[in-house]
């Protein structure tokens, strides 16, 4: 391999490594960067430079992209949100509060309907 080609490969590997280290890069771009490093190390053919995006993903690994819409809260989620604001439940710690709200949910007609009773 000519010296110039080795320098180019090192330069491309440096770009790919900095792209992987960037916390705002998307998972698809991380995959492309890793694939590019693999190609640089294992193959002696030409390597194309991918265009990395720096837009932040909405959540960490495996999360939804920003363009997707949020799901509508279920009846239970709405019930929990409503009851969590009541003074009776505000005093409790989180685990105990959710347990008490779940018991209250099962006593409502909607909660009974979900359980098949």
The residue ranges of every structural domain in the chain are 3-42, 75-115
* Closest C-alpha to 54, from 37, 78, 36, 30: 30
Kindly state the DSSP code that residue 93 receives in the 8-state scheme: -
For 5-44, write each residue's pLDDT tens digit: 667 777 777 777 777 777 787 888 778 777 777 777 666 5
User: pLDDT tens across 53-111, in order?
Assistant: 555 554 445 555 555 678 899 999 999 999 988 988 888 888 999 999 999 999 999 88
Q: Which long-range contacts (CB under 8 A, 24 or more apart) does 61-66 make?
A: 61/27, 62/27
Distance in angstroms (rounded) separating the CA atoms of residues 65 and 53:
13
pTM: 0.41
Within 8 A by CB and 6+ apart from 35, the residues are none
d(CA 50, CA 11): 14
């Amino acid at each position: 391999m000519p010296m110039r080609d080795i320098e180019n490969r090192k330069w491309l590997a440096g770009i790919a490594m900095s792209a992987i280290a960037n916390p705002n890069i998307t998972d698809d771009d991380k995959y492309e960067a890793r694939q590019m490093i693999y190609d640089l190390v294992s193959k002696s053919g030409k390597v194309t430079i991918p265009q990395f995006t720096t837009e932040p993903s909405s959540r960490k690994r495996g999360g939804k992209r920003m363009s997707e819409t949020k799901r509508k809260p279920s009846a239970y989620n709405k019930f929990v949100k409503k009851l969590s604001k009541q003074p009776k439940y505000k005093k409790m710690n989180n685990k105990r509060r959710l347990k008490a709200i779940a018991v209250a949910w099962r006593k409502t007609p909607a909660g009974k309907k979900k359980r098949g009773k």
